[in-house]
Copies of this chain bind each other. A is one copy, B any other.
Amino acid sequence: MRFGVNHTPSVGWFHSWLDFSPSDTARDLEAIASLGADHVRIFPLWPIVQPNRSLIRQQALDDVATVVDIAGSFGLDVNVDALQGHLSSFDFVPSWLDSWHRRNMFTDPDVVASTAAYVRALAAAVADKPNLLGITIGNEVNQFAHAPHPAPHDITAEQGHAWAAAMVSAARDGLDSGLEARPAPAPSTAPGTGSRPRPLVTVAQYDAAWYDDAQPFGPEHASDHGDATVTHSWVFNGSAALHGALGPGSVRHGEYLLQLAAAWNRDPARPNWLQEVGAPTNVIAPADAASFTEQTIRHVLDAQHVLGVTWWCSHDVSRSLADFPELEYDLGLFTNDGRVKPAGEAFAAMARAGATAGGAGAGAGDRTPPPTALVLDDVMPDGADRHGVRADCAPGGRFAAAWLDLATTAPDGRGPQVVLRSRLADTDLLAARGITRCVDVPADLDTTTLTVAHPATMS
Contact = CB atoms under 8 A, between A and B. Distances in A.
A54 interface: yes
A427 B140 CA distance: 67
Interface stretch (A294-302, A308-316, A320-328, A444-452): A320-328
A145 to B, nearest CB: 14
Interface string A39-58: 00000000110011111010
Interface stretch (A85-93, A120-128, A377-385, A412-420): A85-93
A19 interface: yes
A18 B457 contact: no
A195 interface: no
23 contacts: A15-B51, A15-B55, A18-B51, A18-B60, A19-B57, A19-B59, A52-B321, A52-B323, A53-B322, A53-B323, A54-B320, A55-B320, A55-B321, A90-B100, A91-B100, A96-B322, A99-B149, A99-B150, A99-B151, A101-B323, A102-B150, A110-B322, A151-B151
A354 interface: no
A158 interface: no
Interface of A: 12-13, 15, 18-19, 47-48, 51-55, 57, 59-60, 89-93, 95-96, 98-102, 110, 114, 149-151, 320-323, 456-457
Nearest to A321: B52
Contacts of A322: 52-54, 96, 110, 114
A206 B51 CA distance: 25
Given A18-B18, A19-B57, 18 more contacts: A12-B55, A13-B52, A15-B51, A15-B52, A15-B55, A18-B48, A47-B47, A52-B321, A89-B101, A90-B99, A91-B99, A91-B100, A99-B150, A100-B150, A100-B456, A101-B323, A110-B322, A114-B322
Nearest to A91: B99
A149 B99 CA distance: 8
Nearest to A111: B323
Contacts of A19: 57, 59
A374 to B, nearest CB: 35
Contacts of A150: 99-100, 102
A113 to B, nearest CB: 11
A11 B126 CA distance: 26
Given A48-B18, A99-B151, A321 B92 contact: no
Given A18-B57, A19-B57, A53-B323, A101 B96 contact: no
Contacts of A102: 150
A323 B97 CA distance: 10
A19 B19 CA distance: 11
Contacts of A151: 99, 151
Most buried by B among A12, A54, A95, A98: A95
Which 9 A-B pairs have CB atoms at the shortest separation, nearest pair first? A91-B99, A54-B322, A15-B51, A53-B322, A90-B95, A52-B321, A96-B323, A100-B457, A89-B100
Given A18-B48, A99-B150, A150-B102, A321 B54 contact: yes
Nearest to A144: B99
A110 B114 CA distance: 36
A15 B52 CA distance: 8
Contacts of A55: 12, 15, 320-321
A91 B96 contact: no
Contacts of A101: 89-90, 323
Contacts of A52: 13, 15, 321-323
Most buried by B among A53, A54, A60, A457: A54
A157 B271 CA distance: 59
B93 A99 contact: yes
A90 B98 CA distance: 8
Contacts of A47: 47
A19 B57 CA distance: 9
A270 B149 CA distance: 47
